[in-house]
Chains A and B, each alone.
Chain A
Amino acid sequence: MNAALLIARRELFAYLRSPLGAAVIAGALLIDGIWFYWQGLTQKLLSVEVLQQFIYGASGTTMAAGLLLSMRLLAEERQTGTLVLLHTSPIRDSQIVLGKYLSALVVLFVATLLTAYMPALIFVNGKVSIGHVLVGYLGLLLLGSAAISIGLFGSALARSQVVAVIVSAAILAAMVLLWAVARSVDPPVNRFLSALALHHENFRPFMLGRLELGCVAYYVMVTNFFLLGATKVLEARRWR
């Protein structure tokens, strides 16, 4: 765990020193801000609907930010040859992956937290439940965590960051679009596919302010699955 925290700390500094972290946070804030302005001030919606639409829009930027933050994590190390330092140190591959994941999660957490003023603005002229806001943000973080793990998996597979983000985006898009596939097949396969979809079925409860344990477990499992995948890719590299 110590090694994972050490790696996470190094990566956090790397985010601070490179324009990537700031650019992703700024981009997410800008898009979320425009979306919130459009939903909150130009549409005739109830306060709760504004919040729901904000969470819905922010889920898109969170997924994109997760991918962009994680694309460099392993691909860049491989590209610059620094992965050798980690690979020849007495640490496990799972600690490398965990450290990288934690660093991206912290940056995403900060980016998400910085959007908190938007739901707070709803209280100026309206009223929503604090619980609804908290559950929505929990959903965003869980979705972001899953996106980071998918990005990390793509980053483990690829040598270049561009390839990494393309691979990760393809996986993420396929998982998001499972709900659409589910609509075109018969029961019980449609229910199975729908339950596997990254966004639609599993994110909607958070958007509506409902905390469902099954959905939380789903995102935790997706995160675990792809982090494990990234670890196995790193382990396999030693045999090649």
Chain B
Amino acid sequence: MIEIRDLYKYYGDRRALGPVTADIAEGEIIGLLGLNGAGKTTTLRILACDLLPTSGTVRVGGYDVVSAPDEVRARVGYLPDRPPLYDDMSVREYLAFAARLRRVPKADVARRVDEVVEQTELGDVVHQLIGTLSHGFRQRVGIAQAIVHRPAFVVLDEPISGLDPVQIVEMRELVRGLRGAHTVIVSSHILTEISETCDRIFVIDEGRIAWAGTEKELSSEFGQGMRVDVTVRGGDETRVLELLRAVDGVQSAEIATPTEPGEDVRTVRLSARGDVRDAVCRALVTANLSVLELVRRRELESMVLALLGSGESAARRRSKKRSESRREAPAEAAVPEGAEGA
């Protein structure tokens, strides 16, 4: 579906992206993770044909973004980080305009707009001016314009940015609903969002794909075991910690902020080599302690940080990268032979 080969993008002398090589299969939902300035938006803009690459090739559905941009654009739906909305148009007018721009035949426009309004649950505001909509609805209209022409490939840049928790859940469902009908690439800073929605993850660092794979693969490579939060009632702190540290496979146990109220309630954060949840439960119950909650922590954030280095070192690298990349040679000279990103 999408082939990216030795893709580079320079802004003046500064390398923003590259080398990037990747393949995305039809129907996949790809999550793009990375720090600010890592090159996520540049990648998405090139895939959406909003920006041209300095070198390398990107083919969408067999069409090259440089030599056949109109063919690519007809097959791509793009929601930038700020939805491109005309405040002076109603939702219906705007979606019809977007559909016509994307070559939807005039006779099919009304039907397509109705379908997409239903899909994105915009029925209540369809005749309202876009300028009067809440942020959540504006994001929905942004997604609606991206899929109104039934593109094979949908590019979403930070679709949940600025949404409240309820809107995030709704948006997650909306993005999940695109599965099957569209190939989707979505970037987000909210890492759990990526793990909830995407089939594969591309971690972008300093303009390169630092890692690509599923969350499970990332976990086995960087997760270093399992992290579990267990909340117990009864027993004193020392006894609970001793009990848990004695469980086979537990590497460390530390007291954390309790997740439940109560004087004799404590939450312990465990690091283990493998899945120790059943052994932990058994040990606590045998010792006559009540297990109130046992939760496996989502690891994605810590794994990505492990991959990119700690937050502090990542910031240092980012600052160093800016100064170094300005000194690098121009695009063509800087492209290494056979460079490969992922």
Contacts from A to B (Cβ < 8 Å): 3, 6, 10, 13-14, 17-18, 80-92, 238-240
A90-B103 in contact (CB<8A): yes
Q: Is B102 in contact with A90, judged by CB distance below 8 angstroms?
A: yes
Determine the chain B residues whose CB is within 8 A of the CB of A13 once the complex forms.
88-89
CA A13 to CA B100, docked complex, whole Å = 16
Contact B11 A81 (CB under 8 A): no
Partner of B88, one of A3, A14, A91, A238: A14
Task: Report which of B11, B78, B85 forms a contact with A82, defined as CB distance below 8 A.
Answer: B85
* Contact between A86 and B78, CB atoms less than 8 A apart: no
Take A90-B102, A91-B101 as given contacts and tell me if A81 and B84 are in contact as well, using a CB distance cutoff of 8 Å: yes
Smallest CB separation, A84 vs chain B (Å): 4
- Footprint of A on B, CB under 8 Å? 11, 48-52, 69-71, 73-74, 76, 78, 80, 82-89, 97-98, 100-103, 145
Question: Could you tell me if B51 and A238 are in contact, using CB atoms closer than 8 angstroms?
Answer: yes
Main secondary structure of the interface of A (DSSP, over half): helix
Asked whether, in the complex, the Cβ of B84 is within 8 Å of the Cβ of A85, the reply is yes
From A6, A80, A83, A92, give the contact of B97 (CB < 8 A). Answer: A6
Say whether A88 contacts B73, CB under 8 Å. Answer: yes
Provide 30 A-B residue pairs closer than 8 Å at the C-beta atoms, listed in order of the A residue. Answer: A6-B101, A10-B86, A10-B89, A10-B97, A14-B86, A14-B88, A17-B88, A80-B86, A81-B82, A82-B84, A82-B85, A83-B84, A84-B78, A84-B80, A84-B84, A85-B84, A85-B101, A85-B145, A88-B49, A88-B50, A88-B73, A88-B78, A89-B73, A89-B98, A89-B102, A90-B73, A90-B101, A91-B70, A239-B52, A240-B11
Q: CA separation between A168 and B124, bound complex, in Å?
A: 43
B86 contacts A82, C-beta separation under 8 Å = yes
The answer to whether B70 touches A90 (Cβ under 8 A) is yes
A10 to chain B: which residues have CB within 8 Å?
86, 89, 97
- With both beta carbons as reference points, the residue of chain A lying nearest to B76 in the complex is identified as A88
Residue from A17, A80, A89, A239 in contact with B101 in the complex, judged by beta carbons closer than 8 Å:
A89
Given contacts A10-B86, A84-B78, A238-B51, 15 further A-B contacts (CB under 8 A): A3-B101, A6-B100, A18-B88, A80-B86, A80-B87, A82-B86, A85-B98, A85-B101, A85-B145, A88-B48, A89-B98, A91-B70, A92-B70, A238-B50, A239-B52
B88/A86 in contact, CB under 8 A: no
* Bound complex: CA A81 to CA B79 (Å): 11
Please give me the 6 A-B residue pairs with the lowest Cβ-Cβ distance, nearest first: A85-B84, A89-B101, A90-B70, A90-B73, A90-B74, A81-B82
- Contact among B80, B88, B145 for A81, CB-based, below 8 A: B80
| Chain A residue with Cβ nearest B103 | A90
